[in-house]
Structures are given as C-alpha cells and as structure tokens.
Amino acid sequence: MCLQSALSFLDQASALSDDAVAMMDRFAAEMLEDWNDDDDDVIADVARIVDDMLADNPNARFQSRVKRTSVGSEKVCGTKKICIGVPESVVSECVVAERVAGFPVMLPQDQKRSFLNARYLVWAYDICRYGWWQLLPFEVPKPCSIFGLAQRAIEWNEAKRANPGLKANSAMECRCYNHPGKPRWGPVLKTIGDLQVPMTMISSEFSRQKRRQRIEQNLAKLRDIQTNDPAYDRAHDRSYELILNGYPPSHLLDVSGNKFMIATKADTKLRIPSRYLVWAYDSLNQGWSGAIPKSISRPGLSVFRLAQEAYEWERTQKIFLLTAGCYRCGEGGKTHWTEEACERCHEWSLEEFWEWLRSRHFWRIYEHLKNASQSRKLNQSRKLNQPRELNQPRELSQQAGPSADFYEQADWSPIADSSEGDEFCWGEPFSERLPELVDAIGFDCPAEIGDVRSLVFGRRIEKFMPADNHTSFTCRFVQWWNNWGRFVKKRASKRGGRWKCFGSASRWQQERLILHRVGFALSRGVDQNTE
C-alpha cells in the first residue's frame, strides 16, 4: 500500500468525531515530515494511526463515495456530465461522487477473523468505497463490513477451486491487488467499476458512453451555431427539445420527405440485434423498399417491426443487402472472440437505438425534426380545407446527408479510361459528396489501413445484383475487389493530382458506395447501366 493510498483511505473517516479527525491529521502530518519512498514502515504507521482513531470510536464507519441519482434531464457519472436526454430506464444506473451512507470496517461477527490477507482487504475497501457491488460474483448480506466482504471473497475463491463452474471474481484478479507497488490495472478497474453495471454489460455500456460523448460533442457544436445566429430563438425551437429527449418522436422523415415510424407502442419492449435495426432504418430512410423481401415488406412497418421481421426471416434465408460489411461484425478486420461482443453484436432497446441514431446521424435527425416542426406550424396556419403536401421533399443541409434528389439527379456516367478495365470515376461535383454517401448508411466506416485506394467504380452494377447463385452482396463485392480490383487499386502517390480531382475510395468506402447504387436500383426496378 503506497502512502497516497493510505492517506486516501484515512481521508474517508469523515463520520468520526472532531477530536478523532484532528488526531488523524496530526499523526498524518508527523508521518509526512519523515516520509521517503524507501520507507517500508508506512503500513505500520498507518495501522498505528487507524488504531488511535478508532480507540474511542469502535463503531466508526467510513463513507461511501457513490450515490445513484439523476439531475433533471442530465445523466451524470462521477462528476462529469455524459449525456443529455437519457431514458428513464437507464437513469438508475447513473452515479455521482457524493458522500452517502457509510460502511463499517468491522462488525462484531467479523472479530473472529481479524487477520486476513491484505490484498483482500484492499479489494473489499475499494468495493465498499466506490459502490462497485455489481462487480461481485456472489451475494453479500447487508450491512457488510470491509472484513466481512474480504472473508466472503476468500471463501468464494476456495469454493471456485473445487467447482470451476462458479463465476470468477474478475476484479480480484487485477494486477493492482496481486502485485504491491505496481497498480498496473488500477485505472481500468476504476473505469469498469464506475460504470455501475454488471460485468456482462461492460462492453455494451462502454459503447453507450462513446455514443453519449458524440451526442454531447454535436450538441456543443449546435449550441455554438445557434449562439452565433441572432435570429435563432431556442424557446420556440421544438426540434432542439426533441433531440434532447431520451425517446424518439413518433415519426421521422426519409430522404424524400415521407414519414416513417421508429416504433409503435407494441414495439417498445422489444430488444433486437443492432445490425437488423441499422439495416431497417437505412432501408426505410433511403427508400430501399425493393431490397426488402416481399414476404416481410408491408406498408407502414416501423423500424423495429421491420427489424424483427428480418431477424425471423434470416433464421432460414438471407437478406441480400444485410450481408454487406457495413451491417456485419468484423468490417475493417476488427474481429473478436465468440464469447465477446461489439456494438454490432449487441441487442438494443428503443432507448439504445435512439441513442445510436442521434450519435450516428445527429445532423440528419436534427434537420428531420426541424423540418417536421416547421411543417406542423405551416399546416396549422393553413385553412382546414386546404390539402396537406405530405410528400413534399424537404431540403436538407449537406451535414444531414444526401437527399433523394441527389441520387436521381446524379450523373452516374463515368469518366472512361478504357485502357484500365473497370477503372472509372465520377466528376468532381459528385466526388465532393462521397463522404456523405459513405456516412449515410451502416455503422461507422472503418478507418483506412495503408494507402491502397481505388477510383470510384462507375460502370454498370449487374455484377453486384442478387441472383439465384449469388445471395450475398459482400461475396459479390469481395470477388470483384480481389479479381478486378487489380486494375483499379492504386497507391495514391502514383496518380498525383487526379485522385484529388476525381475522388478515390478505400475498400470499405467503395463497398458502401456500390451498396447505395444497388439499393437504389432494386427499389426503382431499373438497370443502372452507365455505359
């Protein structure tokens, strides 16, 4: 135990009398005067101070630093605000570093085992101090003292040796409890413990925290834009309130301005694998109705209901566009063990999906809500007998992504270079919007590895369309990339300024761009032949 940890331990004794606290401060000051890093008697000094403090207070209790709470519509973890608009179902998981009910060092029933291994005592103290009860693989009676918890951990480890099927005490295995003076994994354990979720939910909670941080960053940018706009009135900005809300609105607008539902009342209790939800949202938002199997395609389906239908459908058959890398785990070469999980493996509730949607498509969602709010105000000002223009396309900002007009008006004709096979590219106006196309669908696009890129594929896409003997989009794309790719894959340094003029794409970007064209073609029943 280092001096800093020892003093931190003593600092928690705020429930003691004023005289005891003064005594603690005096002894600590005396110890600090003669302290040096080579002094091995620090534990003995700390023990002496503790004995003196507790001499007149045998029932003294240290104070826990953790309290579950919420502040208005903000979720707070530690002392930092993580997100605005957190659903009520997860507010109970929120933590704030405040002093609340204390915990005893030792109870009367613990006195018979007053000599325990120091690492178990340090571990038990951390559990009690920070409220990391969710990390325990066993149940503990309340109230529980430091010595009682340490003894319970010892008994659990002994039982696990006899029965390996018992859950491991993962926190106890950290290096900081097994190698004195080398707290190598202390910060990792602290981070995991402060999440205040069971060990089985650590991966999911980490992903959620990243999404909340992205939302907060985008909110900060939005507030800056609004602050610099003298005509902006937040008090009447309904869209700002909606995007802060922890629950989605009843409808959103697709790229053509048509309404579609996120979830009905009956869908709110569903938990569906995230990849199906992302695909369902893209299909409804992009208008890829022709890419949805006819057996599950019905007018008015919500995102959650379509995702549930697709999940059931894929028990026996494949959905062509769902096989694309942007909807599957492992895109970009990021694989993991079967027993592990990533964002694309998690199951999402309505709150989690809305959280992801605001994180991934913040500006598009904000524009949708803003346009819908303006449309409602316009309709309220019209006469009752005037027809509503429900299908009127809305104009979206470039940050919000490409609209349907962009796909229909785009010049799909390539700039041909017949000497290099399939190496074609679109003109400069189109290439400037390539990032929007890439970011408009799927999960986050993987970062580029190396500098191997290709000119954007611009020839006919028959080779990427579904067929009886080709039911996987990714397989068709990989086959093209590996075979024909030798004609189109170049290193950026070899082409100089032409890459900047006409645009190029990485392997993952290229797949998403072609996926856009396939979805567009399937939905409109046209042959995207650009010869």
What count of Cα atoms within 13 Å lies in the side-chain half-sphere of residue 165? 1
Residues 394, 371 contacting (CB under 8 angstroms): yes
Q: Rounded to whole angstroms, how far apart are CA atoms 354 and 83?
A: 13
pLDDT tens, per residue, the chain with 531 residues = 444 444 444 455 444 455 555 555 555 555 555 544 444 454 455 555 555 555 555 455 444 544 443 333 333 333 333 222 223 333 333 333 333 457 777 777 776 666 787 788 888 888 888 788 888 888 887 778 888 888 888 888 888 888 888 888 777 777 677 666 665 556 667 777 777 777 777 778 888 888 999 999 998 888 888 888 777 766 666 777 778 877 888 888 888 888 899 998 888 889 999 999 999 999 999 989 888 988 888 888 999 999 999 999 998 888 999 989 899 888 877 776 665 668 888 899 999 999 999 999 998 888 877 776 665 554 444 333 333 332 333 333 334 445 444 444 444 433 333 333 433 344 444 556 777 888 899 998 887 665 566 666 666 777 888 877 777 888 888 888 777 654 555 444 444 444 333 456 778 888 888 888 888 888 876 444 433
Residues 291, 519 contacting (CB under 8 angstroms): yes
Domain range list for the chain: 1-63, 205-375, 402-524
Q: Rounded to whole angstroms, how far apart are CA atoms 143 and 148?
A: 9
Where does 198-326 show beta strands of DSSP type E? Answer: 251-253, 259-261, 272-273
- Among 518, 413, 511, 510, which residue's Cα sits nearest to residue 455? 510
What pLDDT is attached to residue 302?
A: 92
What pLDDT is attached to residue 57?
A: 52
- Among 315, 320, 280, which residue's Cα sits nearest to residue 301? 280
For residue 393, the one-letter residue type is: P
| Overall residue count recorded for the chain in this entry | 531
For residue 185, the one-letter residue type is: W
Structure tokens at 447: 């970062």
Residues 324, 518 contacting (CB under 8 angstroms): no
| SS3 label, residue 243 | helix
Phi, psi of 97 (to 5 degrees): -75, 90
For residue 170, the one-letter residue type is: S
Q: Rounded to whole angstroms, how far apart are CA atoms 368 and 239?
A: 8
What count of Cα atoms within 13 Å lies in the side-chain half-sphere of residue 108? 0
Q: Rounded to whole angstroms, how far apart are CA atoms 60 and 385?
A: 76
| SS3 label, residue 104 | strand
Q: Compute the CA torsion angle 441, 443, 447, 450 (nearest 10 deg).
A: -70
| SS3 label, residue 257 | coil
- Omega of the bond leading into 393 within 30 degrees of 0 (cis): no
What pLDDT is attached to residue 303?
A: 94
Q: Radius of gyration over alpha carbons of the chain, in Å? A: 30
Residues 356, 348 contacting (CB under 8 angstroms): yes
Supply the DSSP string of 458-491, one letter for each residue: -S--GGGS-BTTB--HHHHHHHHHHHTHHHHEEE
N-terminal to C-terminal alpha carbon distance within the chain: 74
Phi, psi of 123 (to 5 degrees): -60, -45
Q: Assign residue 479 a region: left if phi > 0, alpha if psi is -120 to 50, beta otherwise?
A: alpha
Cα 359–365–369 angle (5° rounding)? Answer: 140
Q: Rounded to whole angstroms, how far apart are CA atoms 195 and 188?
A: 11
Q: Rounded to whole angstroms, how far apart are CA atoms 168 and 86?
A: 32
For residue 442, the one-letter residue type is: G
The residue with tokens 């309505």 is 350
- Residue 155's CB is within 10 A of a number of other CB atoms, namely 11
- Among 475, 276, 411, which residue's Cα sits nearest to residue 284? 276
